[in-house]
Amino acid sequence: MIYLAGEAPTRAESGKEVLLRIFKKSPENDKGLVEKVLTEITPRGARKFPEDFLEKTIENSEMAEIEIPGTPLQLDANSETTIISPKRYFKYEARNPSEAKYIIYACEIGQKKIKVPRDNLALLKAVVGYERYCHEIRDQSFSLFIKYTK
């Protein structure tokens, strides 16, 4: 995803809040367009990671608990498995790229612990499902914005 300087969303913002902030200066004839597109794409609301993407059969005993700093996290530019905080006060070496993505996707500002599945297949399925969902939402949003702004 490419954003203008200062437009990148934070993890704490919902998709609707981001779209409303980006399009708040839309022309008068486009009023309500963001809400219309969001309602059409996700009539029951957006799905939440990781809850909506994990298999329902995973129990707490199959989850590892990882302590995090409560700040935004990102991948280190030189590694697919190293997670860092922006000022590098926190560093965590994930078992594999799927675990690293899972932790970043599940991280919320202020959160101090994340439960991560020990099973690599469950991790991979959750991450792939979430990424597929995000791509579908992006593609549907683009198509609907084009359709409604012609």
Q: What is the mean pLDDT of residues 112-126?
A: 94
**DSSP E strands, 23-139:** 63-67, 74-75, 82-84, 91-93, 113-117
| Residue 30 scores a pLDDT above 90 | no
pLDDT in tens, 65-96: 999 999 999 999 999 999 999 999 999 999 99
The residue that leads in pLDDT, 91 or 21, is 91
C-alpha torsion 45→50→55→58, nearest 10: -140
Average pLDDT across the chain, whole number: 82
The residue that leads in pLDDT, 44 or 75, is 75
Per-residue pLDDT, 114: 95
Partner residues linked to 114 by β-bridges: 66
